[in-house]
Amino acid sequence: MGASGSHIFDDDTAWDVKGIFEGALEDGCSADDAVERVKEEMSDAIEDEDDGPIIWLALACLQIEKGSLSEEVKKNALEGIEIEFRNEPGGRWEEEDYTERKKILEDFRNMLLNNTQDDDFVASDH
């Protein structure tokens, strides 16, 4: 999996989450049930130290877009942000994207902590 930019959905793993989540909604699932489907289908990746935080961030964006952020997703997304803050440039994100990625994560963390919504974090096209 890789990243093509600094935004939440500029990552292949986040894009996979979006596909599973939206597929579940199309099948008639609620946003909470869609999260469960993602957790089932990405059970190995969600435990991965690199992919896990991305999955929770993507789920938080998708639930916010649907107007129902669960405490489980919020808690894990906030933990994922803290993990990402400890990452060094040159890994998943290239140096040029790293600074912007950290700023985006800071803004997203503030949004989660303040229970606000910013349209910049909804699931945009890949």
Q: b vs e for 86-104, b when ≥16 Cβ sit within 10 Å of the residue's Cβ?
A: ebeeeebbeeebbeebbeb
Q: What is d(CA 32, CA 25) in angstroms, rounded to the nearest whole number? A: 10
Count CB neighbours of 119 within 10 A. 8
* Residue 5's pLDDT band (cuts 50, 70, 90): low
Helices 71-85 and 51-66: angle between axes, nearest 10 degrees: 140
Q: What pLDDT shows up at residue 3?
A: 47
d(CA 29, CA 68): 13
* Burial group, residue 27, by CB count within 10 angstroms (0-12, 13-18, 19+): exposed
pLDDT digits (tens, 9 = 90+) for 40-68: 999 999 999 889 999 999 999 999 988 88
Query: Hey, what's the torsion of the CAs at 62, 65, 68, 72, to 10 degrees?
Result: 30
pLDDT band at 83, cuts 50/70/90? confident
Domain boundaries defined on the chain? 12-115
pLDDT for 123: 46
**Verdict on whether the full-model pTM lies above 0.85:** no
